[in-house]
Amino acid sequence: MIHFVGAGPGAPDLITLRGKSYLEQADVIIYAGSLVNPALLEYAKEGCQVYNSATMTLDEVIEVMDAAEKDGKTTVRLHTGDPAIYGAIREQIDRLDALGYEHDVTPGVSSAFGTAAALQAEYTLPNVSQSVIFTRMEGRTPMPPKQSIEEFAAHHATMVIFLSAGMLDTLSAQLIAGGYEPETPAALVYKATWPDQKVVRGTVAELAEMGAENNITKTALTVVGWCLGNDYELSRLYADDFSTEFRKAKHS
């Protein structure tokens, strides 16, 4: 059995109870060493074989899983944040299916939410943004058509931008070219939930200098949108003239 497990954004106590229990049972752990907090490996039992996937190819990862399956062992594939976001799990799952091995996925707290917590932000503020776009800039992985930063910026939704902290000057220019006003609030969160977390607030126009002044070039998310500003409407859910399934309106 192969368990794909979300490690959470960094702080070791942000893994789920299920994820921790799989780590404790695992005979083999393959962890994404570039971003997973190694403190999580302390949950591994004695004799557990531990591999860092940062130095491995897909074929090598599959070989380790294949050998473990042939020995009847349990493997945990530990991915940073939530495995569904830039986790490259699909290519592993397809290979495991071809080999006929069982697998499941345990979700994790994405760094998108570790970052929201660090900012104490609500991404979906009433009348400001009711949608969140998780995206990235084009790097070695090309962006599919109709998914450029400019095209997304036109929506004025909350944007959480991964894998782009090394290209903040271009990011800022593309956001503005797409229609975000230069003064739109923006934040840069480095290593959300880790002890050396940094939170920098500013505007879309200031992103490059926010990064440069704080030496942030990787392991950071950029959040953009007026949800980081101060104008919004109170939610209908808690309004006193609003009835819900659980609560009658106090007045209409």
Select from 48-56, 219-227, 233-241, 243-251 the region that touches ligand SAH (CB under 6 A): 219-227
Distances from the Cα of 78 to the Cα of 146, 164, 212, angstroms: 32, 23, 31
Question: 58-70 and 90-99 helices cross at what angle (nearest 10)?
Answer: 40
Nearest-angstrom CA–CA distance, 43 and 39: 8
Select from 79-87, 125-133, 200-208, 237-245 the region that touches ligand SAH (CB under 6 A): 79-87
Least distance (Å) between residue 243 CB and ligand SAH: 37
Least distance (Å) between residue 168 CB and ligand SAH: 12
* Per CB under 6 A, 77 contacts ligand SAH: no
Nearer Cβ to ligand SAH (61/220): 220
Question: Of 169-208, which residues contact ligand SAH (CB under 6 A)?
Answer: 189, 191-194
* Per CB under 6 A, 219 contacts ligand SAH: yes
* Per CB under 6 A, 162 contacts ligand SAH: yes
Residue nearest to ligand SAH (CB): 81
* Per CB under 6 A, 114 contacts ligand SAH: yes
Nearer Cβ to ligand SAH (69/192): 192
Using an 8 Å Cβ cutoff, are 106 and 4 in contact?
A: yes
**From edge to edge, which strands make up the β-sheet containing 28-31?**
49-52, 28-31, 75-79, 2-6, 103-106
Least distance (Å) between residue 172 CB and ligand SAH: 16
| Residue 81-110 contact track with ligand SAH, rule CB under 6 A, x = bound | xx--xxx----------------------x
Amino acid present at 177? A
* Per CB under 6 A, 11 contacts ligand SAH: no
CA angle 155, 146, 177 (to 5 degrees): 55
* Per CB under 6 A, 37 contacts ligand SAH: no
Site size toward ligand SAH, by CB under 6 A: 24
* Per CB under 6 A, 80 contacts ligand SAH: yes
* Per CB under 6 A, 115 contacts ligand SAH: yes
Query: What length does the chain have?
Result: 252
**Positions that interact with ligand SAH (CB under 6 A):** 9-10, 35, 79-82, 85-87, 110-111, 114-115, 162-163, 189, 191-194, 219-221
